Structure 1
Amino acid sequence: MNAKIPFDWTPTPELKQDSVLSAFLRRVGESSYESLCARADADPAWLMEEVFAFCDFRFYRPYTRMLDTSRGQPWSQWCVGGTTNIVLNCIDRHRGTDAWERPFLVWEGENPDEQRTLTYREFDAEVCRLAHALSELGLGRGDVVGLYMPNLPETYIAFFAVLKIGAILMPLFSGFGPQPLIARLKDGGARAVITADGTWRRGNAAPLKAVLDEALAATPAVAHVLVVRRMGDRLTTPMQAGRDHWWHERMASQPAQRATEEMDASAPAILLYTSGTTGRPKGCVWTHVSFLGSMVTRDMHICCDFRSGDRYFFLSDMGWMVGAMCACIPSYFGGSLLLAEGTPDYPDSGRFWRLVQNHRVTYLGVAPTLIRGLMRYGEEEVERYDLSSLRLLSSGGEAWTDAPWRWFFRHAGKGRLPILNIAGGTEVGGCNLVTTVHHPQRPSSFSGPALGVGLAIVDESGRPVPEGTVGELVLRHANIGMTRGLWQDDARYLESYWNVIPGVWVHGDFVRRDADGLYYILGRSDDTIKVSGKRTGPTEIENLLTATGAVSEVAVIGVPDPVKGAVIVCVCVCVPMPGVDASDAALAQRLSQAIVDGMGASYRPADVVFVDELPKTRNLKVMRRVVRAVYAGGNLGDLSALVNPHAVEDLRRRLGKPALPAPARASAR
């Protein structure tokens, strides 16, 4: 990107001066984020000492050593000898403070007349009651407990109750069908599952317990199922004697106080699965210090300015890492959380913005896909609502393209609020790249690397690439958020991340740094498109297509060309905007020409295909590898994370492709 191109947003001196980041810089005696990054990369242990002191991280027994790398970087140990608990830092810390009687969780059902508010005191009492109920079932330290729940207050009560008794939480996407559940419950060795009878989705009663029952027929190790009664008589919910228990019955007589288990700082706390390109899902292990030390304190508080007075809203399922973010970020700092059941555009297209308005959200998180979907309803839908409560905007989950970034900036942020873009993943338990209120912004940009992660951009051989060149994002050393191996599969952990380019962690993202020091993610490196000998990520080309205003979403892929051999051809899968006729051949030509005008004639796509939906994961990332597999033929890989598996079949039909053998799919509901 040319350095002379103006920035879309520039921080004011007052905003920078009053930021959390400035307070941290003053504490450690650094003059800029860049100098802080250099010092943190040189001494990650020093960084975390300062982060924990600045954020008042609580331990039962202090650690004797912050970082032990004696077994090598992949097996780094943090806070050696220390004991703590996520619940100690996120709930217990507020007992006896002003926050105790303030709202923590505000919930709205799909029907807006259904609302609940729980103060920290009330929430803690429910956590303690559930902790007692789980202990009565014989659950405790080291037991894996699945959480297969929609967005209900009980979901977050269960999150903390499982951790409070020292058990290991396994979040599960509420849209999963039986086969993805079987794979995770078996691999994780779950002893219990907490679920609901069902939930509301677009006015329909969607079952959960019935789906879980199908999975449990193949997972006999699950001894107990605790069921929240959300739907009542609207769903038939068979209960198996001895195994199944109603939440309200088990909670009825439980005391409202219970001590939190003192856990080794490096003890597993959360087992969260992320899908591999092929093979079974990978179980990422977060400890009682890892997620709080990375995403919660280092990234979202110090870098992204989350504060105690903020109300956080990021519409997401508990099965994605954003679920844990929603639980831990506001609770650690004494803020509040808005939780909403259902979808952003039902019962009407303005629901998402009405939630922000009515509940006075200050810190709004989104996935770019959500904004692309809401753009279809027009800017008028946003302008109807008072969004003046917003203080900061945040985004994550996938790379932006310019058009939706600017739409969100202009209409939600009114051209004055920065979009704090973050990128990392389940495997690192936090961010690789962050955006701060100290740095100017352009669409989809990041300010720089997260603190202490040792980020570099390299070629296939591990050599640093010149400024402006697309390369592989790597981390030169371990950081506190990284998964503690992969669950029961040390060899796969090394093979997937540490042995791709020996000596560094390869995350799988294509990244570029511009002349102003801003960073851009250009897609997954396994989505590489190579045209005329030049590698590029799909985002650069997708930007050109969404900029036409004719399509709201695009997946650009590369496929082998039968005539030119090794030459890769661009193929666009587009979702037209309302009022645009996808059957019009002129539209395909217009999109093709947009690529040629922006990239050159060698990038002219071989095909432009229109579909109603793109295949997406539960965290709303477009699955380009699946699009490529359908188009070119080949192994579809692991589809268990798809939120809309019907989109794969739709694409196959439109292309006239034969059915391909596929592994387990997510539920289509």
Structure 2
Amino acid sequence: LGVRKGDRVSIYMPNTIEAVATMLACARIGAIHSVVFAGFSEGALRTRIEDAKAKVIITASYTKRRGKRIELLPTVQKAVDSLNFVEKIVVWDRDGDTLTEDMGDMFVSFGDMVKSSQPHCEPEIMDAEDPLFILYTSGTTGKPKGVLHTTGGYMVQTYFTSKVVFDLHEDDVFWCTADIGWITGHSYIVYGILANGVTSLIVEGAPDYPDPGRWWSYVERYRVNVFYTAPTAIRMFMRYGEEWPSRYDLSSLRILGSVGEPINPEAWHWYYEHIGGNRCVIVDTWWQTETGAHMITTVPSYPTKPGKAGKPMFSVEVDVVDKDGKKLPPNTIGFLVIKTPWPSMLRTCWGEPERYEKYWNTIPGVYFAGDLASYDEEGYIMILGRADDVINVAGHRIGTMEVESALVDHPSVAEAAVIGKPHEVKGESIKAFVILRKGVEPSDRLLEELKLHVRNELGAIAVPDEIEFVEKLPKTRSGKIMRRVLKAQELGLDVGDVSTLED
């Protein structure tokens, strides 16, 4: 394929061992991998391929979800149309029914490459600060940010946090239920876990198909010791009832982890009682794509406080401050900041250093996490959600601007504003307020058309649960939509300072 150190390789694959092997193959030769979640549609995939200027795309013929075959290769083919810098598309043809000779030499068989490869590949010599991967994460400006992680510091901190937070032993079986398309999959399916020499379980498909016992059957079958999942999954299983996990032997479990969003106390207690059998330690972990590894958590020897993430990880200096950077007293809501650098921190935003600088300039001299938090007298930190316009749906960060851009791309839409609303299962759901173009009338058919349009542009995860057609949107005099006013009105809260409101 001619891939060399520093070349970018986009990976658009199912949550499978083949995808993990592909990531590690890139790392071995010094290529920078950019994994794109296989649930993303053509538009989101193209944006990420184009930004990284990927030389090679590695994909699969399809992924499986809820008993259905979901094609991946056609999405890739559309996404790379007219992108002349893409030289090869490597395809894992899962059933041998997709690649044909008439497709041309741009397409390469993953299976043939594996068969023709030598068992040993000489590793590329890397500097600690050489790039390891780019992972795109939602921002508030619409275009996703390419977060760059490097080889040495990232590996050190993912190894160390995996070992300490999950109390890993070499004969453990570890299962992180995330997808490799997100940072949790990178750090705690692949790099941190495998660096500890621990068996990592990876699963493709929905957690509740063919029935809500699927995950618990795997815990029983593979004797999983450490289980790491998101509160949104726990809340979903709560709705199905405790009779499902009670059918399986979960006695192998020792540590339970939570990731992706704050876990509410009700979900924490259900998790502890019905999955952990009132005996497993729960570690709640706060971190971000940008941080690379756990920053705030309870390690297994700490007393736990349901609903609180815990204390800063060893050597991590965290504070809760006001907008001027002044430390706030206990039990006061403020901005969460990290005061000093750490090994696995992002090094830049790919091709956009000014977006990286914003992390450090928003509150000068500290890393601005973009989350609201408070801490108690014992130093335990509670995360209260996003301070900016990023919505956390089922542990996945979705930029309001991304969804708004997709809606406005529809010919019937003049303007759109998007907010997150509390949701008992997903954490947050998406609601869109849409102004239609003159002459276009609201209808149920148009509403469904808009949802389908967002699905095609960004993927199912970004489809609004609700769309409300409105005549106007609250804006500042400079034309900026005041989403917080929409959110406050939606939730029946005080709208706060509206002195900058246009009308």
- When the two structures are superposed, what TM-score results if normalisation uses the length of structure 1? 0.61
Q: Is the 8 A contact 1:402 1:443 kept in 2?
A: yes
1:225 corresponds to which residue? 89
Aligned residue number for residue 470 of structure 1: 333
How far did 1:317 drift? Answer: 1.6
Q: Which among 35, 38, 44 is matched to residue 174 of structure 1?
A: 38
The one-letter amino acid of 1:464's match is K
**What residue is the counterpart of 2:466 in the other structure?**
651
CA distance in 2, matches of 1:237, 1:180: 27
Letter paired with 2:49: L
Size of the aligned set, in residue pairs, is: 430
Residue 630 in 1 paired to residue 433 in 2?
Answer: yes
Change (3 A) 1:571 1:222: closer
CA drift of 1:571 comes to: 9.5
Structure 2 match to 1:526: 388
Work out the CA distance in 1 between the residues paired with 2:99 and 2:129: 42
Q: Which amino acid aligns with 1:302?
A: V
What is the CA–CA distance in structure 2 between the aligned matches of 1:435 and 1:237, rounded to whole Å? 52
Give runs of aligned pairs for residues 213-612 of structure 1, distance below 5 A. 213-233=77-97, 240-297=103-160, 299-324=161-186, 325-495=188-358, 497-526=359-388, 574=423
- Alpha-carbon distance between aligned partners in 1 of 2:322 and 2:120, rounded to the nearest angstrom: 55
User: Secondary structure, in 3 states, of the residue corresponding to 1:372?
Assistant: helix
Q: Structure 1 counterpart of 2:76, which letter? A: L
Distance in 1, matches of 2:70 and 2:24, equals 25
Distance 1:264 1:215 in 2: 33
Match of 2:3 among 139, 162, 170: 139
Aligned to 1:148: 12
Give distance in 1, aligned partners of 2:205 and 2:288.
24
Cα distance in 1 for residues equivalent to 2:224 and 2:40:
29
| Amino-acid identity (%) | 34
Give 3-state SS (helix, strand or coil) of 1:506's partner.
Answer: strand
Q: 3-state SS of the aligned residue for 1:472?
A: strand
| Partner Cα separation in structure 1 for residue 250 and residue 389 of structure 2 | 37
User: Structure 1 residues 641 and 369, CA, compared in 2 at 3 Å: closer, same or farther?
Assistant: farther
Partner of 1:161 in structure 2?
25
Structure 2: which amino acid aligns with 1:357? Answer: E
Give me the whole-angstrom Cα distance separating, in 2, the residues matched to 1:572 and 1:622.
5
Deviations 1:180-232 (A, max 9, x none): 11111111110001110002111111000111100010422110111111244
Counterpart of 1:585 in structure 2 is none
Q: Secondary structure at the match of 1:289?
A: helix
Contact 2:166 2:226 in 1 (8 A): no
Separation in 2, partners of 1:239, 1:182? 24
Structure-to-structure mapping, 1:86-165, within 5 angstroms: 137-165=1-29
Structure 1 equivalent of residue 477 of structure 2: none
Gaps of 5+ in 2: 393-399, 401-418, 437-450, 474-503
Shift of 1:478: 1.3
Helix, strand or coil: the match of 1:200?
A: strand
Corresponding residue for 1:50? none
Deviation digits for residues 525-561 of structure 1 (CA, Å, limit 9, x no counterpart): 2279xxxxxxxxx99xxxxxxxxxxxxxxxxx9xxxx
Cα contact 1:202–1:342 (8 A) shared by 2: yes
The 1:441/1:425 distance shift into structure 2, 3 A limit, reads same
Q: CA deviation at 1:250?
A: 2.1
| Distance of aligned partners of 1:329 and 1:492 in 2 relative to their CA distance in 1, 3 Å threshold | closer
Q: CA deviation at 1:392?
A: 0.5
CA contact (8 A) 2:41 2:459 kept: no
Distance of 1:262 and 1:384 partners within structure 2: 50
Q: Which residue of 1 aligns with 2:50?
A: 186
Give how far 1:342 is off.
0.7
8 Å Cα contact 1:304/1:435 also seen in 2: no
Q: CA deviation at 1:332?
A: 1.0
State the structure with more CA Rg.
1
Partner residue in 1 for 2:74: 210
Kindly indicate whether the alpha-carbon contact (under 8 Å) linking 2:54 and 2:86 is maintained by their aligned counterparts in 1.
yes
Check conservation: 1:311, 1:330, Cα contact below 8 A.
no
Counterpart of 2:91 in 1: which secondary structure? strand
CA distance in 1, matches of 2:157, 2:91: 33
Distance 1:659 1:295 in 2: 47
Q: What is the Cα deviation at residue 508 of structure 1?
A: 0.7
Q: Shift of the alpha carbon at 1:657?
A: 4.9
The alpha carbon displacement at 1:658 in A equals: 8.0
Amino acid at match of 1:252: K
Q: 1:239 to 1:171 in 2, by over 3 A?
A: farther
8 Å contact 1:210–1:237 — kept in the other structure? no
Q: Which residue of 2 aligns with 1:9?
A: none
Equivalent-residue separation in structure 2 for 1:357 and 1:277 (angstroms): 42
**Closer/same/farther in 2, CA of residues 348 and 446 from structure 1, 3 Å limit:** same
Task: Look up the SS of the partner of 1:340 in the other structure.
Answer: coil
Identify the residue that residue 493 of structure 2 maps to in structure 1. none
Contact 1:290 1:429 in 2 (8 A): no
Residues 421-472 of structure 1 deviation map (CA, whole Å, 9 limit, x = unaligned): 1111111111221111221112122330122222111011110000111111
Distance in 1 of aligned mates of 2:349 and 2:206: 32
Q: Taking structure 1 as reference, are residues 322 and 503 closer, same or farther at Cα in structure 2, changes over 3 Å only?
A: same
Classify 1:236/1:269 alpha carbon distance in 2 versus 1 (closer, same or farther; 3 Å). closer
Shift in Å, 1:300: 2.1
SS of equivalent residue, structure 1 residue 284? strand
**Is contact 2:60–2:94 with CA below 8 Å preserved after alignment?**
yes
Could you tell me whether the CA contact under 8 Å between 2:217 and 2:248 is conserved in 1?
A: yes
Q: CA deviation at 1:641?
A: 6.5
